[in-house]
Amino acid sequence: MTPDPDATPNATPTTEHAAPLADDTPARGSDPNAQTTPRQTRRPYRHSRPVFDRPVRIHSEYARRLVSERQFRPAMTALYGLDVILRLIATEAEADQVETVIATRLSELSQELVAERERLHAELERYDLLAVRPRYTQPIDLRVQIASPHIGAYTNLILELDQLMMAIDTLWLSGVLSNKEHTERQIAWRNRLGAAGQSFIDLHRYAYAEAERRGQREAVDRESRAGLQGFDTDEEESEEPEAD
């Protein structure tokens, strides 16, 4: 066999040296997940906030309507959201101004409810009805998350309203009030508290727009979701009543 003229004499055949291919096998002693697991981003810090889980029973029809999904939850979300926004973006003067508006509205309503309760108490006493209390066919049980003092105060107002409605119902069932007087009184008081809740929603909408203008929308959304879950009801959701 004729020897290859280009071959090196007495050379041992070797494999051609080429650039090594990438190897997916991790080196000995290295983390097997180091090259395959994407780097994890840090989760945003979440504050541990105090809350009360308060059990609440509502008896009367018009108080029930105030704690419906459509009205009570937006008002609670607004009150808590205002606390979040003030903490994140407001100056001390701005925060004091908004706090004063909310506290004044809640305090005025509380005073009005107390005055009306005393007046109804005297009326029930006049007709010897203090020991009389109607039974309600569809009361509802709620567990309200009290995540701010303002939410607690608004919840107390609704409980006060429920007691007023029960007194008005007692006077009506006993023949003291006419059908018209009964309905007008209940709607008037329901509308007062409903208007207060709507004013808080409007104030929150304005503050949220200001937070967005200052570039704090994501921070506000994150804090609001983390801090407030709302309320739970023990009954199945029913259709909303028709507006009066």
pLDDT recorded at residue 237: 44
pTM for the predicted model, two decimal places: 0.73
Q: Containing H/E element for 104?
A: helix 92-126
DSSP three-state, residue 71: coil
Q: Which of 14-23, 60-69, 178-187 bottoms out in mean pLDDT, i.e. has the lowest?
A: 14-23
Does residue 231 register a pLDDT over 60? no
Q: End-to-end CA distance of the chain: give it in Å, rounded.
A: 112
Does residue 191 register a pLDDT over 60? yes
Q: Count how many residues are written for the chain.
A: 244
Distant-in-sequence, close-in-space partners of 141: CB < 8 Å, separation ≥ 6: 55, 56, 57, 233, 234, 235
Does residue 38 register a pLDDT over 80? no
pLDDT recorded at residue 165: 97
Which among 198, 218, 199, 202 has a CA at the least distance from the CA of 89? Answer: 218
Does residue 217 register a pLDDT over 90? no
Does residue 51 register a pLDDT over 50? yes
For the chain, which residues make up each domain, given as ranges? 65-233
Does residue 58 register a pLDDT over 60? yes
pLDDT recorded at residue 131: 94
Confidence of residue 3 (pLDDT cuts 50, 70, 90): very low
* Helix, strand, coil content of the chain in percent (nearest 5): 55, 5, 40
Q: What percent of the chain has pLDDT over 90?
A: 48
Mean pLDDT of 153-172: 96
Does residue 149 register a pLDDT over 50? yes
β-strand pairing of 231-233 with 140-146: antiparallel
Mean pLDDT of 71-77: 87
pLDDT recorded at residue 7: 46
Task: For residue range 79-136, list pLDDT tens digits in order.
Answer: 988 888 888 888 888 888 999 999 999 999 999 999 999 999 999 999 999 999 999 9
The DSSP letter of residue 143 is E
CA–CA gap between residue 147 and residue 198 (Å, rounded):
19
Mean pLDDT of 44-59: 84
| 119 vs 25: which has the higher pLDDT | 119
| 120 vs 51: which has the higher pLDDT | 120
| 57 vs 236: which has the higher pLDDT | 57
Tell me the H-state helices in the chain.
61-66, 72-89, 92-126, 149-173, 179-213, 217-227
Q: Which of 4-8, 110-114, 160-164 bottoms out in mean pLDDT, i.e. has the lowest?
A: 4-8
